[in-house]
């Protein structure tokens, strides 16, 4: 485990890219396999590589948002716009999660769909509302747990949540 922490500390953005490229793509693979009820790998090599590029781009955005949200929440508390709470408590983690998801999360869902649409001959905007609703029922609670952890574990858990959500959405969207 120490090698992981050392790598994350020494390479915060690269480690985020690797974790999301692998786990975010895995979440999509699981979702597609469950949705289609097929055990065959659902993407071509090119599609898989594109999905890994997508998740890598998203990872950079997520890493910066995770770092920046700390200062944002502290600033809101300093200005009396949020109650002052200990930075290592569950309430602070909830504030971070709610704010990052309700502000940045909306952008991320739309940006993810834009990236999904780039290689397609048609544009798919279906169920974007369901993605946005997942911010409330999944991402805010999940990231409250995430932000309760030490910073060096947060991106890894966030990437792992992508696998969990892929599983949940696969079951929910079964054909």
What are the residue boundaries of the structural domains of the chain, listed by start? 2-172
Is the model's pLDDT at 172 over the cut of 90?
A: no
Name the region of 122 (left: φ>0; alpha: ψ -120 to 50; beta: rest): beta
Q: Inform me whether the pLDDT recorded for 40 exceeds 70.
A: yes
Mean pLDDT in the chain? 96
pLDDT at 11: 98
Question: Would you tell me how many other CB atoms lie within 10 Å of the CB of residue 153?
Answer: 15
Share of the chain above pLDDT 90, in %: 92
| Residue 56 · residue 20 · CB < 8 Å | yes
pLDDT in tens, 100-134: 999 999 999 999 999 999 998 889 999 899 999 99
Residue 168 Cα to chain centre, angstroms: 14
pLDDT digits (tens, 9 = 90+) for 56-107: 999 999 999 999 999 999 999 999 999 999 999 999 999 999 999 999 999 9
Neighbouring C-beta atoms of residue 165, cutoff 10 Å: 20
Please give the pLDDT value at position 12: 98
Question: What is the signed CA dihedral for 147, 68, 111, 171, rounded to 10 degrees?
Answer: 0
pLDDT score for 175? 61
């Amino acid at each position: 485990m120490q090698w992981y922490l050392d790598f994350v500390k020494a390479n915060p953005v690269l480690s985020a890219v690797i974790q999301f490229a692998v786990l975010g793509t895995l979440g999509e693979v699981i979702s597609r396999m469950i949705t289609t009820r097929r055990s065959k790998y659902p993407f071509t090599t090119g599609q898989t590589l594109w999905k890994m590029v997508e998740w890598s781009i998203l990872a950079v955005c997520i890493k910066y948002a995770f770092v920046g949200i700390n200062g944002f929440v502290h600033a809101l508390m300093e200005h009396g716009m949020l109650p002052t709470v200990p930075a290592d408590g569950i309430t602070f983690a909830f504030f971070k999660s709610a704010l990052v998801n309700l502000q940045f999360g909306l952008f991320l869902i739309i940006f993810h769909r834009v990236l999904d649409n780039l290689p397609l001959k048609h544009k798919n905007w279906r169920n974007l509302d369901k993605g946005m609703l997942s911010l409330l029922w999944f991402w805010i609670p999940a990231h409250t747990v995430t932000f309760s952890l030490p910073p060096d574990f947060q991106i890894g858990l966030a990437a792992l949540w992508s696998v969990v959500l892929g599983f949940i959405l696969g079951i929910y969207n079964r054909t």
